Amino acid sequence: ASILVLHGPNLNLLGTREPGVYGSNTLADIDAELQLIAKERGHHLQSMQSNAEYELIDRIHLARPEGINFIIFNPAAFTHTSIALRDALLAVDIPFIEVHLSNVHAREDFRHHSYFSDIALGVICGLGAQGYQLALHAAMDQLNQ
Ligand code: DQA
């Protein structure tokens, strides 16, 4: 099956950005590891990062005609602001798992609300880069059901 991994704003700086909060893995490290795991299990995985809300929206729109079966999404700061990205996911009706590297519930109040959690299949936060791998394993199990 086809899996799309989407990373929101500032995640391109992973590895150098607040390493105490977000860890020392770069986004390229994370994506490469996910690629490997998906390939081993016979799935096709692609990743995309953008700092622009409209690019993420356009990518989600494209996912439907492209035949993407599952999305793993770290919306980053758009988690807490973007009705437009929520609407895009509702529109394409592709199941997704929401991932956050940090435990957003242990941080500032404004990070406690997500525009995605109630429409996500599941939410993983606080486990660093491993959260993406756990999400991928869960996605592949879902796809094999
Ligand atoms: C984040 C948490 C968000 O609150 C923050 O704005 C991010 C990253 C995370 O992965 O922990 O940019 O989504």
Q: Which residues' Cβ are closer than 6 Å to ligand 1?
A: 10, 74, 76-77, 79, 100-102, 104, 111
Instruction: Please report, in tens digits, the pLDDT of each residue of the chain (145 residues total).
Output: 999 999 999 999 999 988 888 889 999 999 999 999 999 999 999 999 999 999 999 999 999 999 999 999 999 999 999 999 999 999 999 999 999 999 999 999 999 999 999 999 999 999 999 999 999 999 999 999 8
Q: How many domains does the chain have?
A: 1
ipTM attached to this prediction = 0.99
The residue annotated as part of the active site, out of 7, 43, 100, 132, is: 100
Domain that holds residue 113: 2-144
In DSSP terms, 4 is beta-bridged to: 46, 71
Block residue for tokens 């700092």: 51
In the residue annotation, 100 being an active-site residue is answered as yes
In the residue annotation, 112 being an active-site residue is answered as no
- CATH number, position 113: 3.40.50.9100
Q: Are 68 and 44 a contacting pair, CB within 8 Å?
A: no
Cα dihedral sign, 31-34-40-41 = negative
The residue annotated as part of the active site, out of 7, 22, 115, 132, is: 22
Could you give phi then psi for residue 139, rounded to 5 degrees?
Answer: -60, -45
